[in-house]
Every structure is written in C-alpha cells, then in structure tokens.
A and B are shown apart, each in its own frame.
Chain A
Amino acid sequence: MLQPKRTKFRKQHKGRIHGVATRGVTLAFGSYGLKTLEPERITARQIEAARRAITRHMKRAGRVWIRIFPDVPVSKKPTEVRMGKGKGAPEYWAARVKPGRIMFEIDGVGPEIAHEALRLGAAKLPVRTKVVSRIGE
C-alpha cells in the first residue's frame, strides 16, 4: 500500500475539504482517467483495491498511473476508551481529494476494456466518479 517514506510529524489535524480541484484535473499520462465528483478522504487500502481491480481487468496489459497519494495520517482511538487523554494512534493513511481530481489514469488498452476497468476500480472508492478520456479518443 502507498504511504510516505518518512514524515516530519506523526499526526495531523483532521481538516476539511473545501472547493474544487485546480491541479491534477486533466489527463497527463494515459488516454483514460477516473475523475472524482465528490470531496473525500481516499484511504491507501481503497487506492490499492481500486488499482488491483483495474489491473486485473486489464489482464496486466497496458499501464496504470495513480495520481493521488495518501499523505494524511488518520488516527483512531482504541475501542472502549473514554474520550480525552490525547489524540489516538495513527491508524491509516489517506489522500484528500477534491471534486475534479483525476485519481487513476490508464493507457494501452481499448476503450471498452478501459471503461470497464475504471468502472470496477470506481466501485472500490467512496466517491461518485466519472470516466474521462483524451479528446479525440
């Protein structure tokens, strides 16, 4: 799973996701991409599950690019622990995505396989998405 190699601080504030994406909104590598329509935290597990679903449907042909990186540590308190006594331990890593962000790109496969692979990948993600393709494809 994706996670930072090293970080300056172990824990981060929760934060809020406002507005729409201004960067990473156009296809940069592949011919087809999966764009999010909602703001959300995408966990490293969800990214990995989507990547596996996409590559498996593509039968290991073509190429996949992951355009998001889970760099936000999300902490969680253990079960049956009273509130207070400080912030919980880091549990998992997540990427914050804003609407319009291209999360995955693929290339080297035909349009039918690309659309189906991205549809299967999108089913692993907690956001509504749409498949975008390069103009002229």
Chain B
Amino acid sequence: MSATVQLKAEPREKVGKGAARAARRSGLVPAVIYGDKKDPRSISLTIREVEKQLESGHFLNTIYEIDVAGEKSRVIPRDYQMHPVKDVPMHIDFLRIAKGARLVVAVPVAFQNEDSSPGLRKGGVLNIVRHEIEISAPADAIPSEIAVDLTGLDLGDSLHISAVTLPEGVTPTITDRDFTIATIAAPAGLKSEGEEDEEGAEPGEVPAMHGGDEEEAGEE
C-alpha cells in the first residue's frame, strides 16, 4: 500500500486561463480539489514538488494529504495534463477521499524474476500488453504496484490476470474476461530473416484510387 504523502499548496483566488497562465509563469502548477460533496477548491502547487511526485511513477495511485493554508484534505490525483512539447505539468485534478470510499485506480505493473523466465533467457521479448491495471480498491489499501512473476514463462506464453495474486479487497475492473497482461514474443531474429526490410511497395508507386482515377488524366 502506498503511504500518504504530504503536499503543500496555496489557494488560488482567480480562476480561468489568464490566472492559470500567470501561475505557470511564476513556477506554479494550477490544480483543483473536488469531490466528497464539498465545493471545489482551486489551488496551486510548486512545479518542483509536482515533478518530483510525477517521477515516482506512482502519482495516480498515491494518497496525498494537501495542506492548503492550514486546511488539510486527503486526496488522490485523478488526472494530470502535461505540455505536449515541453513535458511540464500544466494542471492536476485531485479528488477528495470520503471515509470508507472505494476507488477505481490504474496501478502500474512491476515485472519480477525476468532472469527466471526461460523465454526471456532465450532472447525473447517481453511484450507488455498492459503497463497499468485498472483496479477497484478501498482508498486505504491501494497497492503502489502490482507484482507480476515471470518465472517459468517460455516463448509464446502469455500472462493473464488470473495468474496474478491481488491484495485482499482489490478486484480488477475488467471481470468479464481473463485479460492478458504480457506475452513472451520470439525475437525478430528468430522469425524469418530479412522479412522486415523488404516490406512495402516500390517508392513513388501510386495506390489504387477509391473512385475512378482517370478524372485528372492528361494533365502532365
């Protein structure tokens, strides 16, 4: 289970894109706290603190206690936006956690014992189908990661959710099928050699038209 992390935030008086941009210019990340049948609260956090939490890799499944001018709230980040080019945080949504609440969260998968997998030792590739698994868990018992054991997996084998032991009270949200988490694929070298480099059509070849292609004939 992830431990509760303390965060300090300042209340944000003005909302809207102008105020949010002004906050970003001064090294802050605008954020909002909502939920638990209370009014939403606009806040801002320091960019350094946010980046540190994002780099942990468990940002979306960690419970935070945010101190906004002395008022503490237990929250979980629900979403965050990054700048598409600069990769800096733009905005964060925090959800207040009610007492005894159950939450749906995406928890990262941690692959263990790669050395004990005969398939990977033969040069196979771990093809990760799901980097995260969406689970439903009590707010106080959200796992920080889901450990997946690769022991004994050979080439062509796949690992499904049924092979994973989830902590007590934790259930996957997908229950209608035994979904795949990862497969051990044969490396490209074991497949037919040179098949990859010779794919595709001749350069400059024009594909067939959907309709008639003679409409623009005789123009050259």
Which A positions have Cβ atoms within 8 angstroms of B? 1-11, 20-22, 25-26, 35, 37, 44-45, 48, 52, 55, 59-63, 73, 78, 85-92, 99-100, 107-108, 132, 134-136
Nearest B residue to A85, CB-CB: B219
In the complex, the answer to whether B84 meets A8 with C-beta atoms within 8 Å is no
Query: How big is the B interface, by class?
Result: 35 or more
In the complex, the answer to whether A92 meets B85 with C-beta atoms within 8 Å is no
In the complex, the answer to whether B206 meets A10 with C-beta atoms within 8 Å is yes
Number of A-B contacts (CB under 8 A): 93
In the complex, the answer to whether B84 meets A21 with C-beta atoms within 8 Å is yes
Take A85-B219, A108-B125 as given contacts and tell me if A8 and B211 are in contact as well, using a CB distance cutoff of 8 Å: yes
In the complex, the answer to whether B54 meets A99 with C-beta atoms within 8 Å is no
Chain B residues with CB under 8 A of A5: 207-208
Point out the residue from A55, A62, A107, A136 that lies within 8 Å of B55, measured CB to CB.
Answer: A136
In the complex, the answer to whether B196 meets A134 with C-beta atoms within 8 Å is no
In the complex, the answer to whether A52 meets B187 with C-beta atoms within 8 Å is no
In the complex, the answer to whether B57 meets A100 with C-beta atoms within 8 Å is no
In the complex, the answer to whether A20 meets B85 with C-beta atoms within 8 Å is yes
Residue B39, interface by CB 8 Å: no
Chain B window 94-129, contacts with chain A (Cβ cutoff 8 Å), 1 for yes, 0 for no: 000000000000001000000000000001011110
Chain A residues with CB under 8 A of B123: 61
Within B67-96, the residues touching A (CB, 8 Å) are 82-85, 87
Take A61-B188, A86-B219, A132-B87 as given contacts and tell me if A92 and B203 are in contact as well, using a CB distance cutoff of 8 Å: yes
Shortest Cβ gap from B83 to chain A (Å):
8
Q: Whole-angstrom distance between the alpha carbons of A84 and B31 in the complex? A: 56
Which B positions have Cβ atoms within 8 angstroms of A? 54-59, 82-85, 87, 108, 123, 125-128, 131, 185, 187-189, 196-197, 200-201, 203-211, 213, 216, 219-220
Point out the residue from A6, A86, A91, A107 that lies within 8 Å of B220, measured CB to CB.
Answer: A86
Chain B residues with CB under 8 A of A52: 197
Shortest Cβ gap from B62 to chain A (Å):
12
Shortest Cβ gap from B60 to chain A (Å):
10
Q: Whole-angstrom distance between the alpha carbons of A135 and B188 in the complex? A: 27
In the complex, the answer to whether B56 meets A136 with C-beta atoms within 8 Å is yes
Q: Whole-angstrom distance between the alpha carbons of A37 and B205 in the complex? A: 30
Q: Whole-angstrom distance between the alpha carbons of A35 and B87 in the complex? A: 10
Q: Whole-angstrom distance between the alpha carbons of A86 and B69 in the complex? A: 68
In the complex, the answer to whether B84 meets A100 with C-beta atoms within 8 Å is yes
Q: Whole-angstrom distance between the alpha carbons of A99 and B87 in the complex? A: 12
